[in-house]
A = this chain, B = another copy of it.
Amino acid sequence: MLKEETVSHNHNCEECPIRHRAVCARCETDELERLEEIKYYRSFEAGQTVIWSGDKMDFVGSVVSGIATLTQTMEDGRTQMVGLLLPSDFVGRPGREGSAYDVVATTDLVMCCFRKKPFEQMMERTPHIAQRLLEMTLDELDAAREWMLVLGRKTAREKIASLLSIIARRDASLNLRPTQGALVFDLPLTREAMADYLGLTLETVSRQISALKRDGVIHLEGKRHVTVPDFTRLMEEAGDDADGGMLA
């Protein structure tokens, strides 16, 4: 099967693409040097599982490139995605042995990993890291709570529109593309993964995407390439205040 590969040649932190957004964002040069000593890269192919729920995790790390998902599964197979990990997002929890979720690479994925023990020790000595991690965790908590509203109270159509607007927004902020005019991006998820994120079935996802296309809210090229001619319209379809800060 697909074999995971540990990349040996260390990249330089200073020119890391996620340098300014990851856990290490606030670190000084000397702190970076110490981090560099305990870091290593790992690559995963699309579809590979990074960690299984319950497995012992001996590392924490950041997504450098690619996309991963955090999912929870019930005994009977029902699954719910509980997080979408984009570049700069943090994986793992200091101070906990096992992973609470399945982490799966949905695209080819590169992660910058730190061995957990040394990282935890560094955290104690390096407030910049703990501060940044707290800030990131609070942001994730906000995102999770926003998602609770989506899951609990929105219609299927609103759910799809919400997901599209989140992906569009994240994509735009990552690529620093100007927001005016049409937004264009690729869906990083299959219909099934979207369904798992939204608490729907893949059939409903497909139908609602078709409906949004029919109504001119989005435009599709192939199955994955999306154009949003009017972002405000999409926000309305999502049931959000149309003012919601475009610049995260």
Contacts and interface: CB of A to CB of B under 8 A. Distances in A.
Interface of A: 70, 72, 74-76, 78-80, 82-83, 93, 95-96, 100-101, 124, 127, 130-131, 133-135, 137-138, 140-142, 144-149, 151-153, 198-199, 239, 241
Q: Describe A's contact surface by its main secondary structure.
A: helix
A100 to B, nearest CB: 6
30 contacts: A72-B146, A72-B149, A74-B149, A74-B239, A78-B153, A80-B148, A82-B145, A82-B148, A93-B138, A95-B135, A100-B142, A100-B145, A124-B127, A130-B130, A130-B131, A130-B134, A133-B134, A134-B134, A137-B141, A141-B141, A141-B144, A144-B144, A144-B145, A147-B148, A148-B148, A151-B152, A151-B199, A152-B198, A152-B199, A153-B199
A20 to B, nearest CB: 17
A141 to B, nearest CB: 5
Contacts of A198: 152
Contacts of A76: 239
B72 A145 contact: yes
A140 B74 CA distance: 21
Contacts of A83: 145
A134 B134 CA distance: 5
A153 B239 contact: no
Contact of A144 (B80, B127, B148, B199): B148
Contacts of A74: 149, 153, 239
A80 B158 CA distance: 15
A36 to B, nearest CB: 23
Contacts of A100: 142, 145
Nearest to A131: B130
A228 B138 CA distance: 35
A30 to B, nearest CB: 19
A134 B93 CA distance: 10
A70 B145 CA distance: 10
A185 B185 CA distance: 51
Contacts of A151: 148, 151-152, 199
